[in-house]
Amino acid sequence: MTQSLTLRRPDDWHLHLRAGAMLRAVLPFTAAQFGRAIVMPNLRPPVTDRAGARAYRDEIRAALPAGTDFRPLMTCYLTDRSDPDEIAAGHDEGLFTAVKLYPAHATTNSDQGVSELRLVMPVLERMQRIGLPLLVHGEVTDPAVDVFDREAVFIERVLAPLLRDLPALRVVFEHVTTADAVAFVRAEADSGRLGATITAHHLMINRSALFAGGIRPHLYCLPVAKRERHRLALVEAATSGAAAFFLGTDSAPHGITAKETACGCAGIFTAPAALELYAEVFDQAGRLDRLEDFASLNGPRFYGVPVNAGRVTLVREAWTVPERIDVSADTAVVPFRAGEPLGWRLVSSSV
């Protein structure tokens, strides 16, 4: 039985850091494990231009622990009014790594998202020309569509037509949750233009977990966890070594009062144990030898950036996830698997 595992330093290709005190509290967990992270732009107000992205990047850098070699990769929040020239300029100066498409009202802080795809086609056409990737939250928001079917319907109504109409656009289908999404991404594998991130929590829970012994608000996220057959399809995809699938935690911190309320926020906070959670999944699948592909190699290959030079080492050692992470005197966050034991632990990271 493998007792230790050393990997190229991984990256997180989908991360929420928030701002202010929350940012300062959660960032050290990610910086300790990952070399880079794609930082989501859904702040209030969202990051919709270069000035906003520069200011947010500066705030992240200022919050990094001393001696940390971590690089935030900035994204631009796509709206119906986004300017192709502004986004292209951000790409040209190396500021924007990608552009994020939230269907309006699909998830947390997405009220300024895209209402109709036709309104942003000039931006998408420019992105296709300059090679700037589009990151999509893959759910329709039609109230007539069941919440558990929104990803599958998104593929049919939005993603398939988008890839057909813009054949050179590079797209990341983020936090996929269904066997439908896995099959769609696999069907596009030869093109190399469609990637997909998979979260640790979607690899570990199905929709029944939300109701185990009562409502579990800290397991509520969007896209919501699906049936067990979908979870198993995600595990098979992540552990397969297939280049189109790579690590994106979608770690999304919310204060306890925002989660434990009559209308709680969507988001699961996995950052305190992100890499250990993935290691547990790969270990249980008997595929620890493929974790480096998923965590450290496939993402850089898709984005066309060098693999990190450093290494991280995990050991088979029991430890307990903290019950809560304090943010301020009156705010705390409950991490995924809070108070529960994990069998792998990160013990070293080099740059």
What are the phi and psi torsion angles at 84 (to 5°)? -55, -40
Enumerate the β-bridge partners of residue 76: 99
Per-residue confidence (pLDDT) for residue 105, from 0 to 100: 76
9 has pLDDT over 90: yes
Grade residue 59 by pLDDT with cuts at 50, 70 and 90: very high
* Residue 250 bears catalytic tag: yes
Domain positions in the chain are 10-309
Residue with tokens 């249980």: 284
Contact predicate 60/20, CB 8 Å: no
- List pLDDT tens digits, range 142-190: 999 999 999 999 999 999 999 999 999 999 999 999 999 999 999 999 9
pLDDT score of 111: 76
Instruction: Give pLDDT tens digits for 316-329.
Output: 999 999 999 999 99
Whole-number Å distance between alpha carbons of 155 and 190: 18
Q: What is the pLDDT of residue 329?
A: 94
Give the CATH superfamily of 10-309.
Metal-dependent hydrolases (3.20.20.140)
Is the model's pLDDT at 109 over the cut of 70?
Answer: no
Q: Which of the residues 12, 250, 283, 293 is marked catalytic?
A: 250
- Is pLDDT above 80 for 351? no
Mean pLDDT, the chain, as a whole number? Answer: 96
Determine which of 58-67, 99-108, 127-136 has the lowest per-residue pLDDT on average. Answer: 99-108
Give me the percent of the chain exceeding a pLDDT of 90: 94
